[in-house]
Chain A
Amino acid sequence: MRSAEATVPTVWPDPRRPQADNLRILDGMEWSHRTPHLRAFSFGFSVRASEPSTGRYIEALFGAMAASDEAAHVYSFLEFDGRHEVYRDGEQVSSTEAASTALGHLLWDVNRNAITSARQDLLFHASAAEYEGRAVLMPAPMGSGKTTLVAGLVLGGLRYITDEAVAVDPTTLLVHPYPKPLALRRGSWEALPSLRPDLAPELRPFARSTWYVSPGMIRADAIASSPCAPGFVIAHRYEIGARTELTPMSRAEGLIALAENSFNITDFGTRRSMDLLAAIVRRCRCYRLTTGDLDAASRVVLDLVTSSEGFDG
């Protein structure tokens, strides 16, 4: 993947070295591409890449996170002699032969730091989409199809908030957009063929095990650009072969679904957390969704959310 002899460093960063030394070495390298400043919640970062096509690809993936403020951190994405190394500042995040793994590690690290940077908000393991100024919160544990479901909703006309971590401001109770790239694993590909990345041959290894999709690539207005009020809580579960069923649940059950998928409920103290969760669900209609067909699940949620009775609260 090396394109220019000029990028060959004479001194290579090494995870055994002090991070400050690694950063100095990385800063001294030539970089063929640097992204603009980006922001994931309050985590400011940029990415520099040794390969121009990789740099442009990463920039496109993170395009919805462009920020005007200064980035406090820099990721270095090195491709060299068949290896891929990723550093955050001077700390090694990934070292692998697999391009898709290196990119996955980069996204994982950004996500981890984004969540850490938003601890002042109530954080939920959930995907979310917006319709007419109201957020559909879909709390669920890993492996429940959060990304597939939200991708289907965005394809159906809703606007993307996130596929991973929902942040709710505890003062305003508004949901903040976190438009990270959608990470679609192989199991979702059949349901979402239109999201297959159209990549140049040298970039195809990045999509070998996971399709990374910039929400802005789905359609021009696919991203919720400002905070919005919560409108729905849909606790969903994927079960192989299960019939798709969307059933109302009480707001108290919705509260429990949010609590069970909270990253940081204890940070606020139990009393305040319970009051905040109650305040959120009082603004929402709550449902339980069981499905074995995420395509069908997207359709029933779209029908619910876009119907005129969907927001009578």
Chain B
Amino acid sequence: MTGSAQRDGIRAEAVPRIPEEIVWVEVDGETVVYDERRKQVHLLNPTASLVWSAIDGRASLDQIAGELSGAFGAEPAVVRSDVQELVRELTELGLLALSTRRR
């Protein structure tokens, strides 16, 4: 994880997970996310949907970014930064929760 990740309070080893009250469905590469608790619906674009689909409650941010950069041949630092920013936004919206993996 880059230094900026830590500056924003999300550590590279943080593990994002999707809370139980969040229901989603993927349609043509986009993801519709429904927050049952807040009764709000969100639309994730195809790029955000790729990140969302990689969130399994076990993989850390660093692992997700590594997986995506490997799959798409993108610059790892850029992907890490983008994943971190997206996860931060989705966490603020209540669509993701973060936990820290024990070493």
Contacts and interface: CB of A to CB of B under 8 A. Distances in A.
Is B a genuine binding partner of A? Answer: yes
Interface of A: 250-253, 255-256, 259-260, 270-271, 274-275, 277-278, 281-282
B77 interface: no
Contact of B31 (A252, A270, A271): A252
Given A252-B28, A255-B32, A271 B23 contact: yes
B89 interface: no
Contacts of B43: 252-253, 256
Contacts, number: 41
A258 to B, nearest CB: 10
20 contacts: A250-B27, A250-B28, A250-B30, A251-B28, A251-B30, A252-B27, A252-B28, A252-B30, A252-B32, A253-B43, A259-B34, A270-B34, A271-B23, A274-B23, A274-B24, A274-B25, A277-B25, A278-B27, A278-B32, A281-B27
A244 B34 CA distance: 31
User: In the complex, which of the residues B24, B27, B30, B36 has the most CB atoms of chain A within 10 Å of its own CB atom?
Assistant: B27
Given A252-B28, A252-B30, A271-B23, 4 more contacts: A252-B31, A253-B43, A259-B41, A278-B27
Give the secondary structure class of A's interface.
helix
Interface in B13-64: 23-28, 30-32, 34, 36, 41, 43
Task: Return the 8 tightest CB-CB contacts between A and B, nearest first.
Answer: A252-B30, A274-B25, A252-B27, A278-B25, A270-B23, A251-B27, A251-B28, A252-B32
A208 B24 CA distance: 48
A256 B25 contact: no
Contacts of B24: 274
A274 B36 contact: no
Given A274-B23, A274-B34, A256 B28 contact: no
